[in-house]
Amino acid sequence: MAFEGLADRLQSTIKKITGKGKVSEQDVKEMTREVRLALLEADVNFKVVKDLINRIKERAVGQEVMESLTPGQQVIKVVKEELTTLMGGEHSKIAVSDRPPTVIMMVGLQGAGKTTTTGKLANHLRKKQNRSPLLVACDIYRPAAIQQLETLGEQLSMPVFSMGTEANPVDIATKAIEQAKEEHNDYVIIDTAGRLHVDNELMDELQQIKSKVKPDEIFLVVDAMTGQDAVNVADSFNDQLDISGVVLTKLDGDTRGGAALSIKAVTDKPIKFAGMGEKLDELEAFHPERMASRILGMGDVLSLIEKAQTNVDEKQAKALEEKMRTMSFTFDDFLEQMGQVKNMGPLDDLMAMIPGANKMKGLKNAQLDEKQLVHVEAIIQSMTKKERHEPSIMNASRKKRIAKGSGTSVSQVNRLLKQFEEMKKMMKQMTNMQKGKKGKGMNF
Ligand code: GDP
């Protein structure tokens, strides 16, 4: 999970101070010392940590905390606000040119995830903003790179512009923009060449493309898992190209978070997107405040809702609501729900977005085990249609048959049946509660 190591440490540090009705300077000193160590261990840039800690200290022993009614919580608020500012404050949106197409140039070192991100970004633009991008293959040095982009284009059913490996990247980019104008593509995303290290030849070529096509955005793609190296790469690309934003990839595997927390402070360029996995829909708009919330274990309900909105079919959701209301929810519905949840990505990542979920003891091991989900699925699939709709007919021999069919045990089958009944009970309570609320509303 993203930031797991850092989040664990910060959360145990701030827990000590949260409930305090009175916060002394000594408390603040101890807390900031631990926060400092946690950040340094997370590979956050040394100077960035120093400045951040000074700001937190100054505010935490200041009036806004000491004179508040809940000083402990106020300190946490300060920490959260400062982490948010550190990562850029507001979410930074993608540019839109008033004379389409909007041109985005993707740059970065080899292996950072540039080509994959080009595809993800195009997918994002179409899904979230209804745009029609043209992908452009300007990495002429690695024939496989052109192929890779073409495959992505096929997967996404999106056009890819390429002129093979013989043409000059500046010409390719120029011609691609001409074609985009003719074909009414409103975005052009240029996948440029990468190298293993920053070198002059690469920078020259990128500068030439930049000065010819005058892109609206230059996105530097860096691998979050490389920590301070990513920050240094960002610094040198920015020096030479004056990038407009950063895409941090592989955040899903970054337990430390050093790059995410340092890049904005060091380069003064915002992180615009975060790659959260290899799949084409695993790109998230980067929201500093939501990220700070996640790091501090306060959850990120907004991102969770957005994720659900793109992955859950609205019609299906309505039908489900109806079933919950009429109490006709069956194991088939349950199976369908599980499929949708799985589409949303690894459960651990989802749980990190739910406020307080990390504090529920045992949750991690009990319900989050994805292997168990596979068992649950197998059990339901071994049930007959009738059993799925009328679990009350389940007797000992049926349970035995199901356990055998699914490669599980009778006690696992029993457990699922019990959980299902409890879930139905809970749904009933929830719908009753909603009815109650509605009733009240009408009295006013
Ligand atoms: P390029 O050389 O910069 O174009 O890099 P590629 O796009 O070929 O990506 C290199 C590897 O990183 C591929 O195996 C990608 O699947 C993987 N990758 C890219 N972005 C992410 C991400 O956000 N998360 C994970 N886990 N893998 C990623």
Secondary structure of the chain in HEC code, one letter for each residue:
CCCHHHHHHHHHHHHHHHCCCCCCHHHHHHHHHHHHHHHHHCCCCHHHHHHHHHHHHHHHCCHHHHCCCCHHHHHHHHHHHHHHHHCCCCCCCCCCCCCCCEEEEEEECCCCCHHHHHHHHHHHHHHHHCCCEEEEECCCCCHHHHHHHHHHHHHHCCCEECCCCCCCHHHHHHHHHHHHHHHCCCEEEEECCCCCCCCHHHHHHHHHHHHHHCCCEEEEEEEHHHCHHHHHHHHHHHHHHCCCEEEEECHHHCCCCHHHHHHHHHHCCCEEEEECCCCCCCEEECCHHHHHHHHCCCCCHHHHHHHHHHHCCHHHHHHHHHHHHHCCCCHHHHHHHHHHHHHCCCHHHHHHCCCCHHHCCCHHHHCCCHHHHHHHHHHHHCCCHHHHHCHHHCCHHHHHHHHHHHCCCHHHHHHHHHHHHHHHHHHHHHHHHHHHHHHHHHHC
**pLDDT tens per residue across span 151-175:** 999 999 999 999 999 999 999 999 9
Most confident range, picked from 27-31, 91-95, 239-243: 239-243
pTM: 0.73
Hey, whose CA ends up nearest to atom 20 of ligand 1? Answer: 113
CATH superfamily of 306-443: Signal recognition particle, SRP54 subunit, M-domain (1.10.260.30)
Query: Can you name the residues that pair with 275 across neighbouring β-strands?
Result: 283
Lowest-confidence pick of 96-105, 205-214, 425-434:
425-434
Contact present, 220 and 237 (Cβ < 8 Å): yes
Probe residue for ligand 1, chosen from 278, 281, 284, 348 as the CB with the greatest number of ligand atoms within 8 Å:
278
- 277 pocket-lining for ligand 1 (C-beta < 6 Å): yes
- pLDDT above 90 (res 189): yes
Of the two residues 337 and 270, the one the predictor is more confident about is: 270
- 253 pocket-lining for ligand 1 (C-beta < 6 Å): yes
- Backbone angle region of 44, left / alpha / beta, with phi > 0 → left and psi within -120 to 50 → alpha: beta
> Could you tell me which CATH number the domain at 4-86 has?
1.20.120.140
Contact present, 139 and 131 (Cβ < 8 Å): no
The mean predicted confidence, pLDDT, of the chain is 85
pLDDT at 437: 45
- 250 pocket-lining for ligand 1 (C-beta < 6 Å): yes
Hey, whose CA ends up nearest to atom 9 of ligand 1? Answer: 113
**pLDDT tens per residue across span 380-393:** 999 999 999 888 89
pLDDT band at 365 (very low <50, low <70, confident <90, very high): very low
User: 332-350 in b/e burial notation, b at 16+ Cβ within 10 A?
Assistant: ebbbeeeeeeeebbbbebb
- pLDDT above 50 (res 361): no
Close Cβ partners of 180 (under 8 Å, ≥ 6 residues apart)? 101, 134, 161, 187, 188
Tokens of 291: 């990220």
- 92 pocket-lining for ligand 1 (C-beta < 6 Å): no
| Cβ neighbours around 384 below 10 Å, total | 12
pLDDT at 74: 81
Can you tell me which atom of ligand 1 is nearest the CA of 221?
Answer: 3
CATH superfamily of 102-298: P-loop containing nucleotide triphosphate hydrolases (3.40.50.300)
- pLDDT above 80 (res 429): no
**210: CA distance to ligand 1 center in Å?**
24
* Complex confidence, ipTM: 0.99
Lowest-confidence pick of 130-134, 266-270, 428-432:
428-432
Q: What is the Cβ-side half-sphere exposure of residue 426, based on CA atoms within 13 angstroms? A: 6
* Domain limits, the chain: 4-86, 102-298, 306-443
Of the two residues 72 and 327, the one the predictor is more confident about is: 72
Contact present, 292 and 7 (Cβ < 8 Å): no
349 annotated among ligand-binding-site residues: no
Contact present, 216 and 102 (Cβ < 8 Å): yes
Among the listed residues 256, 282, 286, the one whose alpha carbon sits nearest the alpha carbon of residue 271: 286
pLDDT band at 364 (very low <50, low <70, confident <90, very high): very low
**pLDDT tens per residue across span 265-299:** 999 999 999 999 999 999 999 999 888 888 887 76
pLDDT at 439: 38
113 annotated among ligand-binding-site residues: yes
Task: Tell me what the mean pLDDT of segment 98-105 comes to.
Answer: 95
Close Cβ partners of 315 (under 8 Å, ≥ 6 residues apart)? none
